[in-house]
Each structure stands twice: as C-alpha cells, then as structure tokens.
C-alpha cells in the first residue's frame, strides 16, 4: 500500500491535506492532524482540555479529549460528509495536544487554560477546544473576548449554566452567569438551544427550550439562531448533553427529552453565515458511554465545526 500513511500525527510532512491511516490503527490525534506546537501559517488549532473537577454530578469528562480523538479516526481518508471536501486541503490544522493542568491546585486551572488559549489566538489561528467539563468554556471565552471584544454566545445544552457565581467558583453550572456579569458575552444577542432544566436567571439570553426544539424543524432552529446573532462575532459551545441520552449516554448530567444527533448536526450545518471566532465541544465522559456512541457524536460535532470554518476560509479566499 505505497499510497497509505501510518502515524500521520507524527510523520506528516505538511499540516495540510488528509491522512490515509487505517481507521483502526495509527497515532490518534484529532482527525489525524499533525501534533505540533508550531503556530506559523496555521489556520486552525485543536486543543484538548482534560478537566472535570467542576462537575456537579458524574465526573469523567477529563477523558473526553482522548475519546473524541479516538472516535475522530473514522473521518480519515474520505471527503468529509456533508461538506463533500477534504477539509484540510485548503485549511492548515494542527492538533496542539492538551493543556497541562495541576490536578491538585484547581484554582490555577482557569489561568492556565486562558494563557494557552491566548497564545494560540494571538497567533491568528482559529481555536477549537475539546473538553473537559463546561467550566473550561469560561477561560476560553475570556481569551477570545480579549481579542475580539464581547461575543454573542451560541450555546447548545440541556442546562442554562446561569447559576449564581461569586467570581471564584470552579463550577460548570455558572460560567454563563460569570461571563455576563464580567461583560465577556453580549446576552442580548446570545442564544441557548435545547434547554431542559430550570435556573434562577436567564440574564436576557434567548432560550429555545427542549420542547420547542422538538416541534421545530432544523431549518427553523438555524434561522432563529442566525436572526438573533446576526453579523456579530460569536462563540459556539456545544455541551454533548444537549442531545438526548439515547444519543449521548456518556456524559455527566444527562437529561431526557432532548434532540437527536441528526437534528442538531443538521442545525449546525446551516450556521455557515455566523461569524464564529472560536468553538468547543464539552462534557463527553466516556466511562458512561456505550460502543462510543457519545464519543462519535462529539467527534462529529467537532468535525462539523471545523467544516464550517473550512467553508468560511474558502469563501474569504
């Protein structure tokens, strides 16, 4: 097999173009991207954040980046559906590896994440992050807002994550509250999709609750997002528990009554007009998964986010 590659994450001679590793073998970077810390001429960076000390229910999302990278191997070789292209032909992407965190000193965690993210953003690359629990979105939002100003938040989740926050908590259920209070996001143009729990305050953020998602078409959901956010710079965060536990059992706080992976992927596919400055997928906890259902869903959400970025770059060029 002279045209095949192996361990492309280490042996790749270029940060462009697809790999041809067997799906069942080889080094497991995200979609076989080259592992690198070099940011020159890079369009997008995949960053793992293996942290789950902020969970209110089941831990395990620290293993999310590993699981998503492993599941992403199924996207190798062929043009990526539904983008009908090799996403990396015209978009240079590296896997930056993981943020190094001190498991015994969680108060340092947000600063470490923000510092690593800021370095990547300052280099001009688009940052896509693999969580980790949803607390990691807080330092990621800070890093992006420092570059782009207050962002509209497009938030797929079963939970609002607006519980009260004193500015010091390490809590995956309060990062939105903190982001609003500190001016990191613009609540008037932020939107949450799939919410199936109650919280004390919505901070003026528009909510499309789970029952409405069930009644709406994917096009109607996407249209509502596009109309509400408009042309404002935004950050896209996808908590895998937005999906019903039938489609994402491997997560810390599953909530019944959610949408299918097919429905939400169809929504994502229609968000190409958004000015997305950064994005993440969080709360994949493989210890509760079965046959990689959740990891595959998470990897597919991640691939769609990079696909949207690839199309935006293609239009710009």
Q: Sign of dihedral through CA atoms 110, 113, 115, 120?
A: negative
Three-state SS at 131: strand
Query: CB 193: neighbour CB atoms within 10 A?
Result: 25
Token couple for 45: 């960076």
Residue 136's contacts (CB-CB under 8 Å, 6 or more residues apart) are 49, 51, 113, 129, 280, 282
* Bridge partner list, 185: 151
Alpha carbons 83 and 75: distance in angstroms, whole number = 12
Query: CB 275: neighbour CB atoms within 10 A?
Result: 14
Between strands 233-239 and 34-35, the pairing is: unpaired
Query: CB 169: neighbour CB atoms within 10 A?
Result: 17
What is the separation of C-alpha 23 from the centre of its chain, rounded to a whole number of angstroms?
22
Binding region for Mn(2+): 134, 157, 159, 161, 239, 241
Alpha carbons 91 and 94: distance in angstroms, whole number = 10
Alpha carbons 302 and 54: distance in angstroms, whole number = 22
Binding region: 134, 157, 159, 161, 239, 241
Q: Are 284 and 64 in contact (CB under 8 A)?
A: yes
Q: Are 95 and 299 in contact (CB under 8 A)?
A: no
Residue 105's contacts (CB-CB under 8 Å, 6 or more residues apart) are none
């Amino acid at each position: 097999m002279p045209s095949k590659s192996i361990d492309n994450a280490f042996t790749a001679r270029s940060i462009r173009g697809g790999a041809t590793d067997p799906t069942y073998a080889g080094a497991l970077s995200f979609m076989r991207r080259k592992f690198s810390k070099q940011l020159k001429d890079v369009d997008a960076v995949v960053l793992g954040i293996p942290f789950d000390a902020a969970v209110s229910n089941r831990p395990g999302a620290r293993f999310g980046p590993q699981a998503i990278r492993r599941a992403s191997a199924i996207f190798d070789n062929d043009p990526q559906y539904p983008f009908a292209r090799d996403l990396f032909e015209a978009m240079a992407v590296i896997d930056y590896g993981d943020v190094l965190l001190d498991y015994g000193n969680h108060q340092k965690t947000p600063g470490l994440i923000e510092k690593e993210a800021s370095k990547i953003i300052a280099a001009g690359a688009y940052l896509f992050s693999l969580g980790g629990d949803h607390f990691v979105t807080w330092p990621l939002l800070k890093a992006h807002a420092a570059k782009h100003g207050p962002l509209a938040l497009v938030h797929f989740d079963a939970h609002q994550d607006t519980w009260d926050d004193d500015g010091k908590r390490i809590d995956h259920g309060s990062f939105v509250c903190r982001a609003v209070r500190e001016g990191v996001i613009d609540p008037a143009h932020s939107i949450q999709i799939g919410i199936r729990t109650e919280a004390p305050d919505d901070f003026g953020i528009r909510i499309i609750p789970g029952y409405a998602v069930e009644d709406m078409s994917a096009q109607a959901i996407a249209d509502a997002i596009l109309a509400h956010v408009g042309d404002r710079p935004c950050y896209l965060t996808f908590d895998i528990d937005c999906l019903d536990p039938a489609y994402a059992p491997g997560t810390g706080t599953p909530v019944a009554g959610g949408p299918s992976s097919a429905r939400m992927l169809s929504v994502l596919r229609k968000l190409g007009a958004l000015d997305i400055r950064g994005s993440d997928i969080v709360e994949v906890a493989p210890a509760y998964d079965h046959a990689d259902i959740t990891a595959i869903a998470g990897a597919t959400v991640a691939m769609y986010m990079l696909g949207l970025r690839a199309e935006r770059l293609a239009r710009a060029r």
